[in-house]
Amino acid sequence: MFPAVALLALSYFAIAYGQQVGTLTAENHPKLSIQQCSGKNNCQTQQRSIVLDSNWRWLHSTSGSNNCYTGNTWDTSLCPDPATCAKNCALDGADYSGTYGITTSGNALTLKFVTHGPYSTNIGSRVYLLDGSDAKYQQFNLKNQEFTFDIDMSKLPCGLNGALYFVEMDADGGLSRFPTNKAGAKYGTGYCDTQCPHDIKFINGEASAFCSRCARDTLTPTLQANVLGWQPSDSDPNAGKGQYGACCNEMDVWEANSMGAAYTPHVCSVQGQTRCQGNDCGDGDNRYGGICDKDGCDFNSWRMGDQTFLGPGKTVDTSQKFTVVTQFLTNNNQTSGALSEIRRLYVQNGKVIANSKTKIPGMDAYDSITDQFCNAQKQAFGDNNSFEKLGGLKQMGAAFEKGMTLVMSIWDDHEAKMLWLDSEYPLDKDPSQPGVSRGPCPRTSGDPKDVESQSPDATVVFSNIKFGPIGSTY
């Protein structure tokens, strides 16, 4: 994901010094079937489930139902400091459909944008795929493999993002690495990505608040961390940012709405979920000085010069459901090789559709992501090549070797209004300059207030997930 965004949720809480589990709402994971393929027309169904990210969950008093956090403000009587907050507050189960607008049916997952629940209004959601144990995230190594799913995003307008991607989260949500984490993957803990988000409630089971002497998680945290260091968002009444960020490698297989789409590898100089602070997080003007590549190397057909390829009524018609196939090729065509190419194709109405080709002055006609494509794109667009600096596709492949977690989400963007995906971005550049135009949406689109009020019923449906050797899933 391009900007350092704050995903909206039922409530966002600053990060306490532990993760206790509440008992007021039962946690029942919605079932979702997927298929693992061994060859063409030879796929086996696996019964799995999904779990809601911990950031969306209710954090309340362990002795009752009083909120530990309301809007973007702590209850200072329950949370005067991190240690007391951990003692007083518990993370609880979720009403997936009633509160969050999350439903499953067979192999289909539907995420609704705005849900008016019995006690609150929820905006967006983020879920992870659990493995057969129902207590750990399913881990994927897609080197020399392909990953396929069907998508219906016909009801996703400008300013929204129905995303499917992989991040290098701990399989158990940090349960074994961090003894203060009592919730784990069963309650959706341990999120990280290359934006090094500061809005995560729990990072390493500890407080995301001010700590003047703490650096990355290689150091022992001090008890100077303080919930009063949490900074509420100026634009988002539910969000805030703490001192720490949560960083890890990220493969954006699909970021899209009905008007545009991109797939983008992002890499970090570290492996696995890593807590950052200060310069390592790459915040603000230090965007390219951190440990992760926030821009990534994106293939967006519109941005790469073909404005007729994807959208309503176009070659890939987003007014209808279609299949997205992503192939992760290696330099020796084996899982032991280095990741060397990420290829994309589509299937719609029984027709296989090859990816569009670049039509940018000074670039060859690329139709996939390679290190050569990334270098040529960065040069043509005048962009910083932090992707190459931090390891490129080889580093992305190394993350897959470690194992990556599947994420599916729907969200709007308080930082950049999703213009980086579907409009012109950045706004201070001439839109005729190569790489600035990324989609047909107006420059004034994507304001979360407008999107939430005008498109509350927006939905995205992910279905028919398959993975296996190249050529086996479609």
Residue closest to 198 by CA, chosen among 36, 7, 450, 364: 7
As a three-state string, the secondary structure of the chain is CCCCCCCCCCCCCCCCCCECECCCCCCCCCEEEEEEEEECCEEEEEEEEEEECHHHCCEEECCCCCECEECCEECCCCCCCHHHHHHHEEECCCCHHHHHCEEEECCEEEEECEEECCCCEEECEEEEEECCCCCCECEECCCCEEEEEEEECCCCCCCEEEEEEEECCCCCCCCCCCCCECCHHHHCCCCCECCCCCCCCCECCECCCECCCCCCCCCCCCCCCEHHHCEECCCCCCCEECCCEEECCEEEEEEEECCEEEEEEECECCCCCEEECHHHHCCHHHCCCCCECCCCCCECCCCCCCCCCEECCCCEECCCCEEEEEEEEECCCCCCCCEEEEEEEEEECCEEEECCCCCCCCCCCCCEECHHHHHHHHHHHCCCCHHHHCCHHHHHHHHHHHCEEEEEEEEECCCCCCHHHHCECCCCCCCCCCCCECCCCCCCCCCHHHHHHHCCCCEEEEEEEEEEECCCCC
Q: Is 27 a catalytic residue?
A: no
The question of whether 255 is a catalytic residue gets the answer: yes
Catalytic residue among 27, 168, 206, 255: 255
Catalytic residue, candidates 27, 146, 168, 250: 250
Tokens standing for 108? 């289909």
**Which residues participate in catalysis according to the annotation?**
250, 255
